[in-house]
Structure formats: structure tokens, C-alpha cells
Structure 1
Amino acid sequence: MSKIYVLHENNEWTVHLERRLQELGLPYEMWHLDQGTVDLSAIPPEGVFYNRISASSHTRDHRFAPEFTEAVLAWLERHGRTVINGSRALRLEVSKANQYMALNAAGIPTPKTIAALGKAQLIEAARSLNMTPFITKHNRAGKGQGVYLFDSVEELETYVNSTGFDEPVDGITLVQQYIKAPEPYIVRHEFIGGKFIYGVKVDTSKGFELCPADVCSIEDQFCPTNSSAPTQGVGPKFEILKDYKPDFIEMMEAFLADNNIQVAGIEVITDDAGRYYAYDVNTNTNYNSDAEAIAQQFGMLELAKYLGGLL
């Protein structure tokens, strides 16, 4: 029987989707791809295959899940199976450099960024950027990994040569222009089936290590994403914006179509001059249940309906 196959490496992130698939009575099967085998000479089963592999898999000791998933996706695509967020989406998920080049090709601005391999090269990249303050981040990351703010190259040099230096899993560190927003928030734009669903305002006053998921482990602690409690009296950490559809949405939808990405969250920050910059494309998008309950918009339900429609 044809069914929906969910390719993933984190059970905590699939619970809500499973509930919606069950609610709609859709047949499905979970493929946890941290370990396994794939017979490349065999014929894949019939169905719809949805890839939810995350760039942060290595933080859960699933270091090679993306690489194994790429082999599985190549097998599925070779046989013409319906794949949601296929091999191109995976390549963008695990490389911010790839993301930025694809966004720029679509006419979507990103912060000025230099990719560096090697500690000396990282320091030189910061000098070449010639902007202070600046931030660093891992090329393959997730959960805000490797994101640090520096006021000077000397400050970065001290950090890089310390025992506390956070080595990226792929060796590549990005040195990036720091965009200071006039208010402490970013907006994450959610897309399903390549079409805009809603924008969620994310309070960043306590840093950028906040994801919309109901469960999001950061260094053995849980980020408070399943709460509507106000932060510093400003409002909820996650708020779905009403009647929100900025002019750049069509460009983002075109970007997703060009890169064969069907499900994604694109994070955008705006500077004090009103210029916007996209700085992260998440093809393993999650949704905050409290924010959705208030807005009465449900991403996982829409996703389940979309997958069911393809089935």
C-alpha cells in the first residue's frame, strides 16, 4: 500500500506531525536515518517521501545522518519517487554558504559573509570584513550553534586561540556582518507546498538560540518555546502575525521553487534603515503550538494535509 514516509533523525520533532497524520487517517511510516542500510539495487516502495533531516543532527550524536540521508534520497530520486525536500534541499540545510548563494541568486539580500577554514584564516576573514561589531556562526549548524558577537578582531583572536573555541562540524566558520534591528525580534516565514503560510515574530532579546519547536534541546537545557509568557514585558516569545505578507514573499516562493524546496522556514531580520536580510533557511521547520493556538493556524495540520494530498 502506498503511504507517507517521514525521513528524520529526531523523534521529539516528529510527534506533532504523527498526531496530525493519525488525525487525518493517513497511512505513514517513520524512517529514522541515524543508522541503517539501503539496497541501492532494490526498488523503493511507492509513496510520498518527506525529508526532515536537520543540520543540527550532530548535536544529538547523529553525526552522519545527513550523509546517509543523501544516499537514501539519491536512491528515491533515481526511481522517480515523490520526494518532499529532496537532495537539493538537504544540501542547503547543511550549508549556510549554499543557502546564501541560492538566496542571492533569487535576488534576496543576505548579510555580508566570509567563509573561512582554519583559525588563521578566520581571523584574517574578520579583518577583511572590516565591520564591527560582527558575528561568527557555523556553516553547518542549528540551534544557534557557534553564534557569537565580537566588537573587535582582537576579541575574536583571543577566542579562536582559547580552549573554548567552538569547532564547526564541517570545519567552516562564517564571519558575518552584524545586523542590528531597531527592536529585538526577527520574523520567520513559514512555507508549505512552496506557498507562504504565515510569519511568526520571534523575540530575540535573550539571544538567537530560540527555535519555534515545542521541544528544543540546547546544551542539555530546554529552550522555553512552549510558553506564551511575555519576555521583558514586550510580549510572547513567538507571535503569529496577523494580515502579514511582505512584498518579498513572491521572491521567496520563487527561490523555493528554483531549489525544489517545498517546506521551509526563512528567517529575516530588518535593520534600522528598513532593509531586510534573510540569514537562515530551515528545511526542517517546526512550529510553536501556543502561538498557533492563539492565531488558530496550525502548521503541522497544513503539512499533513499537503502530504495527504500528494499521496
Structure 2
Amino acid sequence: MGKIYVIHENDEWTLHLTKRLDELKLPYEVWNLNEGSIDLTEEPPEGVFYSRMSASSHTRGNRFAPEFTATVLDWLEAHDRKVINGSMALKLELSKAAQYAALSRDGIRTPETIAAAGKEEIIKAAKYLNKTSFITKHNRAGKGLGVQLFHSIEALEDYVYSSGFEEPIDGITLVQEYIESPDQSIIRCEFIGGKFLYAVKVDTSGGFELCPADACQIGDQICPADGEAVSKPSFQILANFHETIIEKYENFLQQQQILVAGIEFIKDKDGNLYTYDINTNTNYNADAEKAANVYGMLELANYLKRELEIPYFYHPYALSK
């Protein structure tokens, strides 16, 4: 049967899961892939391998953790190990452009977006987009990296050619139409085992220094993933949540072989729904979960327990053997 292997690069985020694994008395091992080595001539151990690699790892000094993780996942998959959020999931985690392409291919609406490499190309992209208001964001992101709101090309030029311009780690900046929510909120849908768990409403009135994707605020503010209370933004799990998009999300996750994820959408004043982010390294807000009496990491630990007990050929996304 083996054990559960948790692949990651951030001990603080991983502790919330290992605490639940300890509660359930499950055998597990954590692999921090910020650095290390693997013998490609050897076979991996038996067990279930769950990747929590994050697109924002470089902000914590772990610049090449995603690249090393990709190597490890290829090794595991080549030996037919059961991998939760494997190489396909990592590809989408590391590129919002790849997310939008995949979502659009499945008929899921996304904001109009142009990927640009180079400062002049960013300006050209905004002119071509031709929107009254637009935002920029990093392609490999998380933590709200590079998210800025602009109401004119001149304001964008001032930013891009200033010392305050944030260079994206992969050199790609996304220029995207600004979708304004009437009540300044977004909805984040959580999935475990590819199935919908709950939806949480996130108050975004605090501005664009917010990353609802991993429930973190930027700068000196507190990350709700650490379980401490925050005043803004507020997170509220929605009871009896119903949206037809959920079925589309589940189908999408199955096709992309993503088993654990948070998917975010926003609605404009006319009720049009836009999906704008997929986070395969999802965290959960402690205060919101306590109020709703539902706990994502506990559900995840129980899911990994079941996967450890099920032979690989019964795995829902596995190819037939």
C-alpha cells in the first residue's frame, strides 16, 4: 500500500494538511522540492503522491522548485505511480495563459486577455484590447503578482516604464479586460477528488493587492491560510450554492487530470460569468470553514486516505491498464 507523499515547497502551507494526516493516523512523508536529487534509474516508492507545488514559489526564494517538481512528476508518472495533481495540473498552475486556453477550449468563458512579452508589447496589447479599464497580471503568479488596474494607456505607460514595474518571473505579462463586480466580490469554488466541495464568497473591496486564489493578502497583512483572523478581505462559505458552471468545472478538471483545485469566477452587472483563475495548490480560510463547519484539509486528508487504499487501476483519471 505504501504511504502518502506530499510534494511541496512551503512548510507553512503544508502543516495544515499534515496535521490532518496525523489526526487520521495515516502514513506519510513530505518532499520539499526546493532542492534535492532523484536517481532516474531507480523506481519510485509505492504510494500516493500529491503535488502542492505553487506558482508563487519564487517569491519565497524557491525559484526552481516548479522545474524540479516537473522532473519528479515525470519520473513518477513514467513508473505508473498514482499522482494527484500531476504534470498536467502543474502546467496549468504555472501559466494563466495555459489556463485560459484550456478553459476556452471547453467553452468556459474567460476575460478577454492578451499575453505580452516585453514592455512595448504590453503597451501595444492594451491599445489592441481597447478597453476603458483593464488590468495587468503576471502569467506565473499567485499572491496577486503584478495585478494593477488602469483606466488609460498613459497610466499604463507611466507604470511600465517606471522603477516600480514588476517584472514577471517568466517574462510574460497578461493584459486583461477589467470585469467589475457590482458588490465587489468573487466566488471561489473548491474541488476535492475532482468533485465540488463548497463555494466561498471573497470580498475584494480591499483592492487589487489581494490574491483570493490562495487566500492570501500581500505585504505586511496576514495570510488567512495560517488560521489567524483578518478583517479584510472577508471569506464566507455559501450554503446551498447552485451554479450551472459547477458541472462544467468538474468536467474540465477531469479532462485536465486535476483532482484538487480552487476555481474562481466573477460576475459583471449583467450577470455574465467569467472564470479567471485555477489554483491547483489550494488553501482554505480557517475562519470561514469554522463558521460553516466544513474543513477542506480534513476532506483532503480523507480523500488521500481513500486513494491510498484503492488500487491504481480504480483511480478515476487513470488510463485503462
Displacement of 1:149 in angstroms is: 0.3
CA contact (8 A) 1:212 1:288 kept: no
Residue of structure 1 equivalent to 2:180: 180
1:1-311 paired onto structure 2 within 5 Å:
2-208=2-208, 209-211=210-212, 216=216, 218-219=218-219, 221-223=221-223, 226=227, 237-311=234-308
Q: Secondary structure at the match of 1:302?
A: helix
Q: Does the 8 Å CA contact 2:137/2:175 hold for their aligned counterparts?
A: yes
| Alignment RMSD (CA, Å) | 1.6
The one-letter code matched in structure 1 to 2:281 is: N
**CA gap 1:178/1:87 in 2 versus in 1, 3 angstroms:** same
> How much has 1:210 moved relative to structure 2?
4.0
Give the drift of 1:151: 0.6
Instruction: Find the aligned partners of 2:230 and 2:196 in 1 and give their Cα distance.
Output: 27
Deviations, residues 102-128 of structure 1 (Å, cap 9, x unaligned): 111111100000000011111000000
Give the Cα separation in 1 of the matches to 2:167 and 2:160.
9
For 1:46 and 1:197, the matched residues in 2 are separated by 28
Structure 2 distance, partners of 1:47, 1:246, is 36
CA contact (8 A) 2:213 2:264 kept: no
* Distance change >3 Å, CA 229–CA 8, structure 1 → 2: closer
Distance 1:212 1:116 in 2: 22
What is the CA-CA distance between 1:15 and the residue it aligns to? 1.0
Structure 2 counterpart of 1:293, one-letter code = K
SS in 1 for 2:6: strand
Distance 1:229 1:95, change over 3 A: closer
Distance 1:102 1:172, change over 3 A: same
Secondary structure, in 3 states, of the residue corresponding to 1:73? helix
Partner Cα distance (2:303, 2:262) in 1 = 16
Q: Which segment drifts farther, 217-226 or 58-67?
A: 217-226
Q: Distance in 2 between matches of 1:75 and 1:111?
A: 36
Runs of 4+ aligned structure 1 residues displaced above 2 Å come to 210-214, 216-231
Aligned counterparts of 1:205 and 1:41: Cα–Cα separation in 2: 52
Helix, strand or coil at the partner of 1:15? helix
Distance 1:182 1:55 in 2: 29
Listed as ranges, the gaps of 5+ residues in structure 1 are none
State the shift of 1:289 in Å: 1.1
For structure 2, which runs of at least 5 residues remain unmatched after alignment?
309-321
**1:3-25 residue CA offsets vs partner (Å, 9 max, x unmatched):** 00000000010111111101111
Provide closer, same or farther for how the CA distance between residues 260 and 138 of structure 1 changes in structure 2, counting only shifts above 3 A.
same
Distance 1:27 1:228 in 2: 31
Identical residues among aligned pairs (%): 61
Q: Give distance in 2, aligned partners of 1:98 and 1:288.
A: 27
CA distance in 2, matches of 1:13, 1:224: 11
What is the TM-score of this pair, normalised by structure 2? 0.92
